[in-house]
Structure 1
């Protein structure tokens, strides 16, 4: 069911972004009296799922959800309509319009995507505000994995700053290390502030680990007191289910070993995977004992349930007027962060290209339950990604057309139709190659995670 919900959210988000992106091209084309022959959501090689004609334009929905398109008369695009280009240009065709009008038609989609992202962020902040966990409220410190331990961090450390610059939000720590390259981490251990250097190998190692999954590896996570944890949902046909463990139960001990923090329970179970253990439970004040065999994955098969108020989150509320600059600033921050990722992708040291993902990676970032707050935040971010990717100076993308139009505006010379045809083919080959590479990465990750 979670997979279906993720797919549903992804397809809805993609549909909104594709339609509005193409509407940007369509609107400028109509403004300059340029004929639009087709307006399609998704591609329709061979056949369409749905279509109708109104005026001079055919509107439809294709069956291949890889994007969308508007077919503009007199333009060399992905349709590769060479026959039309052999005829004398008509006044309503793209090629007959002044360069500045053609430029606005081509940037229309990207412009709409940027505006859409800012509008969504403004609406989200106005409707829901912003909730986050301040770094100073992570009062039990962090739980470290082996990579964090390798640079000197320990369970229970309370991170306070990077390069002696205070970090406000806990969830910003890893992205800041990844994108801004701080050289040191300051933390509190045993009531004493200490500092460690971040080695140059840390980011490549983090990305290498992340490349094996569909999300950025957390490296360290929030530490929770064990007393605040109880059994949440119990997975069917799991060791917990077969032993009769119920939602609301609390595990007191395993083989008479108690726990102060939840991560200590997880460590204990990993050490006892595939082994029989004696579990003491507290069920509504009554102590019970059950024997069970820990799963091969070191788990019992339940979701933890956290008591409310264990950690104090901060919530910022915005009036409509306040949400406008706040939403704009959030959009700029997301845009800046995404641009910084290109530096990592093209770095030979980080090998971040291994983390490039396709549709499975994108779909996996949506939550497993329908959450409109998360949906709109992710849609805004995907709108920024779509805008940036489309404006790249690659033939077959909007940015490729913009590049040739800028050349024409500066030099006064228009690239020949044959050159544009070859450029379009080259760009399409590059794009299909990138598409195959990204989704191939997804398939490799999926197969590896299934083992």
Structure 2
């Protein structure tokens, strides 16, 4: 069932993005009276799962879920239809249209991708608002368990002040990506501020250790269950540990240190049980453990116990517009920085490039519309940016040649465009094999 939910979200998101992207080409093509021969979701190599012709256009669903396409008459594209191009140009063909019309047709797909992402972010701001912890309320600092972060110089209890000079106002999901993409992080430790310079190959380092959050929230030590083998029968499920051996154990990381220092001993503990403090004796085994399962608390309960103040900000429809636009802009800039890192070999970020499995793994195994739309918006931005790369066979490659034509007044020959398309196609196949090869490699080595 979990696999079915993940697969459903993956295919639904991918299909939505493909159809809307291709509509971005299709609609201006039709407005400029350019014939569209095919409109396909997925690729119809050799045969189609479904196809139906309306007017001049065949609509269908292919069997190979690696994308989709529209085939526009008189255009040198991945179909490499040389027979059509050898005939005299016809008024309804792409090549017969003015350069500015061809440019609008080619930019239509990525334009829709960017507009879609901003619409989703605006809609999410309106429907869900913002839930976060004000960074100023993180009085005891953050939790650092990620080995790459420890190697970079971070410690549990640090307070993140700013990243690359931008002050951190909210502790939310975006903080991880800000740190990953940052060059300098200003922290406060034991009342003094200091700057940590992020390693150039930090992204590569992240892949070498067990996956965990870059930074996390320090959580209390909540007893989830007491195993039958445990001698700590005085402990009960839902107990919240407050002190151990007379030392404050407000957070689980503090409790771990105290237990590690008291291996093989029986020590006093204070727990919060049914809103009352209880004194119990606990036995620490030779491994520095209590023989219990760790539990958790919902954010609402953490707030009631005084650990964190969770802020909820709601927006009216018109308030949601600038909020969504800002969110979209930040994601667009962030993805641009990621691409820059990928194309900089010294960062090692290229090793983390993934293919379809990596995208599939992003989706959760439980259905959440909020998560679905968050991922879809990000994928829409990624699709738009990737298609704008000046690589022949991508929209960006066609745009590059059209801009050359508009500026110089000279149109590249069909032969040149055919050769460029072939080079671009080989390059795309190479990138596709590399990305999906990375997925396979990670699956084998477990990283």
TM-score over 0.5 (shorter chain)? yes
Q: What do the CA deviations read for 1:266-305 (whole angstroms, capped 9, x no partner)? A: 789999xxxxxxxx999989999999999xxxx9887634
Q: Which residue does the alignment assign to 1:169?
A: 170
Aligned CA distance change for structure 1 residues 219 and 416 (closer, same or farther; 3 Å): same
Q: Which residue does the alignment assign to 2:352?
A: 355
Q: CA deviation at 1:144?
A: 2.0
Q: CA deviation at 1:442?
A: 1.4
Q: Which residue does the alignment assign to 1:434?
A: 431
Q: Which residue does the alignment assign to 1:24?
A: 24
Correspondence 1:208 to 2:209: no
Q: Quick one: which of 361, 375, 395 aligns to 1:398?
A: 395
**Gap regions ≥5 residues in structure 1:** 272-279
Identify which range, 367-376 or 341-350, moves more after superposition: 341-350
Quick one: distance in 2 between partners of 1:13 and 1:303?
Answer: 34
Q: CA deviation at 1:416?
A: 1.4
Q: Which residue does the alignment assign to 2:296?
A: 304
Q: Which residue does the alignment assign to 2:409?
A: 412
Correspondence 1:340 to 2:337: yes
Quick one: distance in 2 between partners of 1:242 and 1:80?
Answer: 70
Q: Quick one: which of 212, 220, 224 aligns to 2:219?
A: 224
Q: CA deviation at 1:404?
A: 0.9
Correspondence 1:329 to 2:321: no
Aligned CA distance change for structure 1 residues 242 and 107 (closer, same or farther; 3 Å): farther
Contact 1:24/1:109 (<8 A) preserved? yes
Quick one: distance in 2 between partners of 1:308 and 1:176?
Answer: 25
Aligned CA distance change for structure 1 residues 152 and 22 (closer, same or farther; 3 Å): closer
Correspondence 1:263 to 2:261: no
Q: Which residue does the alignment assign to 1:181?
A: 183
Aligned CA distance change for structure 1 residues 241 and 317 (closer, same or farther; 3 Å): farther
Q: CA deviation at 1:113?
A: 0.8
Q: What is the RMSD computed on CA atoms of the aligned residues? A: 3.7
Quick one: distance in 1 between partners of 2:175 and 2:18?
Answer: 33
Q: Which secondary structure state, in structure 1, belongs to the residue aligned with residue 169 of structure 2? A: coil
Correspondence 1:147 to 2:143: no
Aligned CA distance change for structure 1 residues 304 and 85 (closer, same or farther; 3 Å): same
Quick one: distance in 2 between partners of 1:142 and 1:441?
Answer: 32
Q: TM-score scaled by structure 2?
A: 0.83
Q: CA deviation at 1:151?
A: 4.3
Correspondence 1:46 to 2:51: no
Q: Which residue does the alignment assign to 1:9?
A: 9
Contact 2:38/2:59 (<8 A) preserved? yes
Q: Which residue does the alignment assign to 1:115?
A: 115
Contact 1:210/1:355 (<8 A) preserved? no
Q: TM-score scaled by structure 1?
A: 0.82
Aligned CA distance change for structure 1 residues 316 and 283 (closer, same or farther; 3 Å): closer
Aligned CA distance change for structure 1 residues 411 and 142 (closer, same or farther; 3 Å): same
Aligned CA distance change for structure 1 residues 159 and 391 (closer, same or farther; 3 Å): closer
Quick one: distance in 2 between partners of 1:256 and 1:50?
Answer: 70
Quick one: distance in 1 between partners of 2:255 and 2:425?
Answer: 52
Q: Which secondary structure state, in structure 1, belongs to the residue aligned with residue 347 of structure 2? A: coil
Q: Which residue does the alignment assign to 1:79?
A: 79
Identify which range, 47-56 or 258-267, moves more after superposition: 258-267
Q: CA deviation at 1:179?
A: 2.7
Quick one: distance in 2 between partners of 1:361 and 1:24?
Answer: 26
**Gap regions ≥5 residues in structure 2:** 262-268
Aligned CA distance change for structure 1 residues 151 and 53 (closer, same or farther; 3 Å): closer
Aligned CA distance change for structure 1 residues 435 and 165 (closer, same or farther; 3 Å): closer
